[in-house]
Amino acid sequence: MLRNKVAYLLILLGCVFLTAGLIELYRLQNAGLEGLNHFRALSLHISIYIVLFLFIVLGLRFFKKGKFLSDKLKLLSISVFSVLLVVEIGLRLNGMNATYFEKKFGVYSIANFKAPATCYLTDNYQQESTEHNIEFSLTRSYNSFGLPDKEYSIKKDSSVFRILAMGDSFTEGAGATQDSAWPKLLEEKLRNYYFPQKIEIINAGITGSDPFFSYVLLRDKLFVLEPDLLLFAINTTDISDFIFRGGEERFKSDGSVVYKEAPEWIGIYAYSFLFRLIVHNLLGYDYHFLRPEAHLGLAHEAVDKIRLITHELLKHENTRTLPSIIILHPQLHEVLNKSYFYSFFSPAFINDTSLCVVDILPYFVNEKQMDDSNIYKYYWPIDNHHNGAGYDVFAEAVATFIKNRDLIKIE
């Protein structure tokens, strides 16, 4: 009688753990796996191991195995589950195969596969937002265009030379105060060189953007600002964005945006660092879930498509050519390596004689002598964006290029 009660209790306990785990999994799956942290993931691991152990115990009772064999199998299962849990915890503590979002915010995100509701990233803007991660907390305000800048009149004064700076989070100024974003610092430097009242730079950088989102935004919404010059910042994360999101085909005729689909096993990947070890270190897939040869082919395609879209950025309904400067800028590890992650990235733009291009990596390495002894004076170690000092060097490099080429003509 007592044995039956214990068996029923074990079944009930197993069902409780299994139900709790399934509810948590369902909740996070519906939320796009957003908010999955180490505690939640490990809780699910423990729930699964307990449920499996209970089923093993009940199975042994059902098949009436001998006590010696039952004890051995119980001990073996406890040992295996304990080792798996210890390995999982060890990998998490080590940070092996942790995603950028996990390093920065401590939670998993499926943002690379989560498309916005519309093709305009500015549609979701708030008047003010705060980015808080383990390295800094910064508040930024946005204007009625959804841009991280003050309000500007649509009709500019004829004496004003208006510059539009476009790009991703590096252009928005992630990692620094709003007045330390490189477009604002560049505006100050150019005003000191030219006539102060005649230079105006609008920061149209948007976190999470890429050349294709920028193209649509400029084409449909920002040409009304009548820019005289476009500064378009590109880096190798734009290649990664293309691999995850695709190019212009992501924009559908109904105004929606569709990214490439995540692997069917993305949920297991999100929960298990041990699974990530198998995917990346044993099977050889990179963080795009591609093998090296497939990645390289898509990277070449990405550079070609990005270069072509930069040409489209310069046109307005095929009637106006917008003078532009393409700015190639490095990530932290590329400064340390003194070269871009993709060797063909910079030459693809530099060798296109129809584009005006400045590559500021040599300025970082040669003029500022950035290396592993001083790199964190300019970049955040984990977030990997610039701090204020880094954005100042960014602006200095662009200002030097503009002045040396005499690219701004003010009447």
Rounded to whole angstroms, the Cα distance separating 148 from 322 reads 22
User: Please, what is the angle between helix 38-62 and helix 67-94, to 10°?
Assistant: 170
Average pLDDT of the chain?
Answer: 88
Residue 259 has pLDDT above 60, yes or no: yes
Report the pLDDT value the prediction gives residue 29, as an integer from 0 to 100.
Answer: 56
> With pLDDT > 90 as the criterion, what percentage of the chain qualifies?
62
What pTM, to 2 d.p., does this model score? 0.87
Residue 195 has pLDDT above 80, yes or no: no
Residue 298 has pLDDT above 90, yes or no: yes
Buried b / exposed e along 328-360 (16+ C-beta atoms within 10 A): bbbbbebbeeeebbbeebbebbeeeeebbbbbb
Rounded to whole angstroms, the Cα distance separating 87 from 83 reads 6
Q: Domain 116-266+284-405 is of which CATH architecture?
A: 3-Layer(aba) Sandwich (3.40)
Among the listed residues 333, 287, 299, 341, the one whose alpha carbon sits nearest the alpha carbon of residue 102: 287
Q: What one-letter code names the amino acid at 288?
A: H
Rounded to whole angstroms, the Cα distance separating 179 from 58 reads 65
Mean pLDDT score, 130-141: 90
Report the pLDDT value the prediction gives residue 14, as an integer from 0 to 100.
Answer: 60
Half-sphere exposure for 100 (CA within 13 Å, toward CB): 12
Phi, psi for residue 392 in degrees, rounded to 5: -65, -40
* 342 Cβ contact list (under 8 Å, min separation 6): 236, 239, 299, 303
User: Please, what is the angle between helix 292-313 and helix 237-245, to 10°?
Assistant: 100
Which range, of 12-21, 49-58, 301-310, averages the lowest pLDDT?
Answer: 12-21
Rounded to whole angstroms, the Cα distance separating 316 from 219 reads 7
* 228 Cβ contact list (under 8 Å, min separation 6): 161, 162, 163, 323
- Banded model confidence at residue 127, pLDDT cuts 50, 70, 90: confident
To 5 degrees, how large is the angle CA 325–CA 320–CA 210? 45
Among the listed residues 241, 179, 185, the one whose alpha carbon sits nearest the alpha carbon of residue 210: 241
How many other C-beta atoms are found inside a 10 Å radius of the C-beta of residue 250? 21
290-295 own/partner pairs: CB under 8 Å, 24+ apart: 290/243, 295/243
- Residue of 49 and 265 predicted with greater confidence: 265
What are the tens digits of pLDDT across the range 71-86?
788 788 888 888 999 9
Residue 123 has pLDDT above 80, yes or no: no
Residue 306 has pLDDT above 90, yes or no: yes
Which range, of 49-53, 149-153, 179-183, 287-291, averages the lowest pLDDT?
Answer: 49-53
Among the listed residues 211, 220, 252, the one whose alpha carbon sits nearest the alpha carbon of residue 316: 220
Among the listed residues 177, 180, 186, the one whose alpha carbon sits nearest the alpha carbon of residue 231: 186
Domain boundaries, the chain: 2-94, 116-266+284-405
Residue 319 has pLDDT above 80, yes or no: no
Q: DSSP H helical segments within 250-387, as ranges?
A: 266-271, 273-276, 292-313, 332-337, 345-350, 361-362
Mean pLDDT score, 243-260: 94
Residue 67 has pLDDT above 70, yes or no: no
Tokens of 20: 């709790």
What is the H or E stretch that residue 247 is in?
A: none
Report the pLDDT value the prediction gives residue 49, as an integer from 0 to 100.
Answer: 79
Mean pLDDT score, 97-118: 90
Mean pLDDT score, 216-226: 92
